[in-house]
Amino acid sequence: MCGGDFENVNLKTVGGSGTWAKHCNQCGGFWFEREPTEFLSLDSINSVDVPTPNFSLKQMDLVCSNDNSLLECVERDDLPAGTRYWRCPDCEGAFYPKGQLALVTHHNHDVHGEHIAGLVSTRSRTTLAGVLVFVGATLMIATSQSQIEFNATSDQVLPSSGPNILTLLLLGITYLAGTILAVLGRKVPIVLLGWSVIIICLVGFSVIIFGP
């Protein structure tokens, strides 16, 4: 568009993954080797671009930097007025002039706000699930050790009132079910139910380990 030099920038999606783009130091445009299929993060875009409707952008013959194909101008009715960018019909690369990438990103967040708010990073879910499973496993081991030590030091003839294996197994399964609901639940009531189950199980583990 202007003959300027590109520099690589790493932009984040709402899901937490990264996507590389080339940012022109001269005109401020952005070139993507492949047009992003995920919604971009507002924080990531706001640090490099400002939404600016541009009604003076004219039809230009821009060439793809990947395969030298002629780029097609994109003007969609569902985008805000003053939005125009170019896309390669062959490799699906995309060029956004200065202000257009931020304009499209802000529009996507305004229109799909509820959907974007409900998206949770796969990495975050995996980390959360790992932490909860680790905590549950640790508590299961701690309660098992507590039961073994109690039985070893008890000189009662009658069976003690300590927890048995079935109790620990049911508590562990319930905790795991709560973890699944809390991590994979897509609706707020389901997630809250999962966390409630987790809290109840944590209280149960605490009572078994430290006593009522």
Per-residue pLDDT 10s for the chain (212 aa) are 777 888 999 998 887 788 899 999 888 999 999 888 888 888 889 999 998 888 887 778 888 888 888 999 888 888 888 888 999 988 889 999 999 999 999 998 888 776 665 554 556 677 778 888 888 888 878 777 766 555 555 555 444 545 567 777 888 888 888 888 888 877 788 888 888 998 998 888 888 777 66
Neighbours of 11 (CB within 10 A): 22
Torsions phi, psi for 105 (to 5 deg) = -65, -45
What is the rounded radius of gyration, in angstroms, for the C-alpha atoms of the chain? Answer: 28
- What token pair was written down for 30? 């952005």
Neighbours of 121 (CB within 10 A): 15
Domain-wise residue ranges, the chain: 6-117, 120-210
Strands 6-12 and 18-24 come out as antiparallel
- Distance, CA of 8 to CA of 5 (rounded, Å): 10
Indicate the burial class of 167 (C-beta count within 10 angstroms; 0-12, 13-18, 19 or more).
middle
Instruction: Rounding to the nearest 10 degrees, give the CA dihedral for residues 54, 57, 61, 64.
Output: -10
Report pLDDT digits (tens) over 126-147.
777 888 888 888 887 877 776 6
- Distance, CA of 171 to CA of 196 (rounded, Å): 14
In angstroms, the Cα distances linking 109 to 55, 77, 83, 137 are 22, 17, 15, 39
Give the global pTM: 0.57
What does the mean pLDDT of the chain come to?
Answer: 81
How far the first Cα of the chain sits from its last, in Å, is: 73
- Distance, CA of 193 to CA of 88 (rounded, Å): 47
Neighbours of 4 (CB within 10 A): 13
- Distance, CA of 147 to CA of 184 (rounded, Å): 33
- What token pair was written down for 150? 């109690």
- Distance, CA of 116 to CA of 27 (rounded, Å): 30
Bridge partner residues of 74 (DSSP): 85
Q: What is the pLDDT of residue 88?
A: 92
